[in-house]
Structure 1
Amino acid sequence: MTTTSSPHAASTGAAPTGAPSTGATNASVSASDRSTVFHSWSAQGSLAPLPLAGGLGSTVWDVDGREYLDFSSQLVNVNIGHQHPRVVAAIQEQAARLTTVAPAHANETRAEAARLILERAPEGFSKVFFTNGGADANENAIRMARLVTGRDKIVSHYRSYHGNTGAAIVATGDWRRMPNEFARGHVHAFGPYLYRSEFWAETPEQESERALHHLERVIQAEGADTIAAILLETIPGTAGVLMPPPGYLAGARAIADRYGILLILDEVMAGFARTGEWFAFDAFDVRPDLITFAKGVNSGYVPIGGVVISDPISHHFDERVFPGGLTYSGHPLAAASVIATITAMAEEGVVENAKRIGSDVLGPALTALSRHEIVGEVRGTGVFWAVELVSDREARTPLDAKRMGALKADLLGRGLLPFTAENRLHVVPPAVVTDEEARRGVAIIDEALAAL
């Protein structure tokens, strides 16, 4: 993969500048949006959404024609970059051939998408259940675990996000769970997070050992024979790109095996190049029973997600009906985009590019930001990083919302589209980001931190 320009810029042309010929402006599009669209996770009266009109590679532009380096990948999902020509063409070709088909029918495009996903999974996985996104992927993985084990409870982390459907949102650990706790059978434990350790740990090894002890004690206290699955994000994303310390994921696997519990790894955000691996767990000594995915599998070009199912769980339903399904399961337009995305990633070295960018460019450049007193910790891998910001480095006091808002506005003003969460700046560009773009993005962050 080239490291000086977008890998597909030449075939699509440069990003256009200037307002579109329709006469629309940022102001008019924003006003129209606010008057008709109900936005997620928002108080509707104070919204000021940035109107985006187009994108290419790691760049997007607004309706007025101003360009931004996209260091958010939208919702950390546009891994292959904006408007990749092979993915766009695949969707167009499939639309011309067959736009939709019921999931009860066999479809060549759907089967090929599943095959390509399974090629990246560990040995012993031979079926994919397609969903519309990551939330219902986790929803159905939970359902499978309960049906196979005959147990009810799901153990997940407090610092986690698993989606906004009935069980997925209650499996989530952050504040979004609290107004939505209508599903039963969910238990939470603290996962490892050495920078803000719940376990008085001083080393990664201590954090891992003590977090595993805590997890096992929660399971024992809840009654191990009542627990169907442990559900973990391989690398918790929205919660702060929390890198698992040595031995934690393997230890969780061992605990699950000890009590006959299934292990579900949520790869919705971390999978398909985000961490410089096809699946984030490829970098760890762990094999799950169920794998959930979405986002990067087709970079969100058409909604899709799914569950990669290990053979014992799949065979459980050979003679037993699985009581679940969706009208758009394995939608052919989405399946075509999966095929094109995985094929392009493999042939263009996108996964390898993400890994190298992380180790050679983003990692060193972001670590250097620690010279700012406001930077508490930098952590991550691939194109999946978080910069934790503090007002007092010694006390590790989280930076307040007002200053985080000022930082976000300043970054936008400097031409960088950021992803912020609580007191953190998440650095999550597309996996096709070039060396020059990565360095330029971190330089913008450096300037904004200095100004703050």
Structure 2
Amino acid sequence: MTPQPNPQVGAAVKAADRAHVFHSWSAQELIDPLAVAGAEGSYFWDYEGNRYLDFTSGLVYTNIGYQHPKVVAAIQEQAATMTTFAPAFAVEARSEAARLIAERTPGDLDKIFFTNGGADAVEHATRMARLHTGRPKVLAAYRSYHGGTQQAINLTGDPRRWASDTGTAGVVHFWAPYLYRSRFYAETERQECERALQHLEDTIVFEGAQTVAAIILETVPGTAGIMIPPPGYLAGVRALCDKYGIVFVLDEVMAGFGRTGEWFAADLFDVTPDLMTFAKGVNSGYVPLGGVAISGEIAETFAKRPYPGGLTYSGHPLACAAAVATLNVMADEGVVDHAANLGAQVIEPGLRALAERHPSVGEVRGVGMFWALELVKNRETREPLVPYNATGEANAPMAAFGAAAKKHGLWPFINMNRTHVVPPCNITETEAKEGLAALDAALSVADEHTA
């Protein structure tokens, strides 16, 4: 679709936004939201007629792009049949969505508890783990993000937690593996894996294993940096959980539903958790939906004991109809295999070629349609291009990089000193190469800030 400029409407949209919308994670008077006129496939555009290739997939959720006609039609059909119904009833769209999700989850994660999104999925997963074990504590990694609700934000490891951290939420943080910036003085992946697992076991022992209900990890951390776990790490965490009677929770909110070139990132590591949270890609974000996939053992805990939790919109028919259509589209169109193949054949070699040309690129890492470039001032010292959690003038180099990307028609995903490459999982090869070319141009601006 060719965007048609309409600045007058755009100005009205922007004025109403500035007058009445309170934006998340923002100082309200310091932001300038783009007024978006439309979106289709891998692109969106503004009211000035500027079109952008979306290398963010929204917030890493439009796994099949914007406005897929089959999903739009499914939502319309469901709205004409039954727009909503209470969660205590059996509804066709809800039942079918649960069945299709359970077909794809690993192991015996066959019971699906629906939520409105990823944060409340994490809330309920941790509640289930505590009730199942009778223990109070949950262990979570420092470099992580699990959501913005009270429990989920305390589980989160990145700076978004700090303002809301009560210190009494029963959360203990630990270091997960990250060889590029190792906390364990490791020189190889094997060392990083072994030392990270020893650190985690030490944490369990010193906290008192009998007090630890769950360990929660993003299978592949998302906004924290897309650090692929080294071989053996997740299996090692699984073994520690079994050894100490701890519930293993994998957060697949961002990594799930094709993003890593598998239905779930857990499939890359042949690991089955006890609970798995999901959201985002389950229906490409078309209608809010999340959930918890539950193992047989934990489901049995609540077979005759009521589970003390629920949501008014749990398994909302419009959201579930969108999920059914999305999962069928992904299967029919081979989206998961496409993400794996395009990632291996186009995205990875393209990004590694950029790293060869640009001194600002310290590391390339990722899989499928889930990649990160770590930008640095100096490759030898690995000093980040901007300081940790930088704002204002300290963040100017990354701001300049982002502006350059947008100037070249690419909307980038930027977090701290990284740019993530997370386009829709069904992006075409031509579109992917267009995005890589825009990245190439923008990285020249980042290079100006290297030593």
Greater alpha carbon shift after TM alignment, 228-237 vs 61-70: 61-70
1:65 equivalenced with 2:49 (yes/no): yes
Code of the aligned partner of 2:196? A
1:421 equivalenced with 2:415 (yes/no): yes
Q: Residue 450 of structure 1 corresponds to which residue in structure 2?
A: 444
Question: In 2, are the aligned partners of 1:18 and 1:66 still within 8 Å (CA)?
Answer: no
Q: Residue 438 of structure 1 corresponds to which residue in structure 2?
A: 432
Q: Out of 242, 257, 261, which is 2:227 matched to?
A: 242
Runs of 4+ residues deviating >4 angstroms? none
- Tell me the SS of whatever aligns to 2:396: helix
Code of the aligned partner of 1:261? I
CA distance in 2, matches of 1:52, 1:214: 46
1:329 equivalenced with 2:314 (yes/no): yes
Q: Out of 257, 265, 274, which is 2:242 matched to?
A: 257
Q: Out of 383, 387, 400, which is 1:397 matched to?
A: 383
Q: Out of 144, 147, 152, which is 2:136 matched to?
A: 152
Code of the aligned partner of 1:192? P
Q: Residue 120 of structure 2 corresponds to which residue in structure 1?
A: 136
Code of the aligned partner of 2:215? I
Q: Residue 356 of structure 1 corresponds to which residue in structure 2?
A: 341
Tell me by how many angstroms 1:80 deviates.
Answer: 0.6
| Structure 2: tracts of 5 or more residues without a match | 387-394, 447-451
Cα 1:123–1:246 change in 2 (3 A) is: closer
- Identity rate of aligned residues, in percent? 60
CA distance in 2, matches of 1:282, 1:52: 36
CA distance in 2, matches of 1:123, 1:211: 26
CA distance in 1, matches of 2:354, 2:217: 30
| Structure 1: tracts of 5 or more residues without a match | 1-14
Matches within 5 A, 1:263-282: 263-282=248-267
Question: In 1, are the aligned partners of 2:139 and 2:171 still within 8 Å (CA)?
Answer: yes
Code of the aligned partner of 2:346? V
Question: In 1, are the aligned partners of 2:103 and 2:110 still within 8 Å (CA)?
Answer: no
Tell me by how many angstroms 1:23 deviates.
Answer: 4.2
Question: In 1, are the aligned partners of 2:400 and 2:445 still within 8 Å (CA)?
Answer: no
CA distance in 1, matches of 2:121, 2:38: 29
Question: In 1, are the aligned partners of 2:404 and 2:441 still within 8 Å (CA)?
Answer: no
CA distance in 2, matches of 1:421, 1:435: 25
Matches within 5 A, 1:299-314: 299-314=284-299
Tell me by how many angstroms 1:126 deviates.
Answer: 2.1
CA distance in 2, matches of 1:53, 1:307: 34
CA distance in 2, matches of 1:273, 1:94: 25
Matches within 5 A, 1:217-236: 217-236=202-221
Q: Residue 19 of structure 1 corresponds to which residue in structure 2?
A: 5
Code of the aligned partner of 1:377? E
CA distance in 2, matches of 1:162, 1:124: 23
Residue deviations 1:167-204, cap 9 Å, x none? 11100001111111235210000000000000000011
Q: TM-score, normalised by structure 2?
A: 0.95
Matches within 5 A, 1:32-51: 32-51=16-35
Tell me by how many angstroms 1:55 deviates.
Answer: 1.0
CA distance in 2, matches of 1:390, 1:189: 25
CA distance in 1, matches of 2:94, 2:225: 34
Tell me by how many angstroms 1:64 deviates.
Answer: 2.0
Q: Residue 410 of structure 1 corresponds to which residue in structure 2?
A: 404
Tell me by how many angstroms 1:29 deviates.
Answer: 2.3
Code of the aligned partner of 2:336? V
Q: Residue 365 of structure 1 corresponds to which residue in structure 2?
A: 350
CA distance in 2, matches of 1:90, 1:283: 31
Q: Residue 60 of structure 2 corresponds to which residue in structure 1?
A: 76
Residue deviations 1:28-85, cap 9 Å, x none? 3223211211100011111111111111111111122211100010101100100000
Q: Residue 296 of structure 1 corresponds to which residue in structure 2?
A: 281
- Tell me the SS of whatever aligns to 1:83: coil
CA distance in 2, matches of 1:131, 1:249: 26
Cα 1:409–1:28 change in 2 (3 A) is: farther
Question: In 2, are the aligned partners of 1:266 and 1:293 still within 8 Å (CA)?
Answer: yes
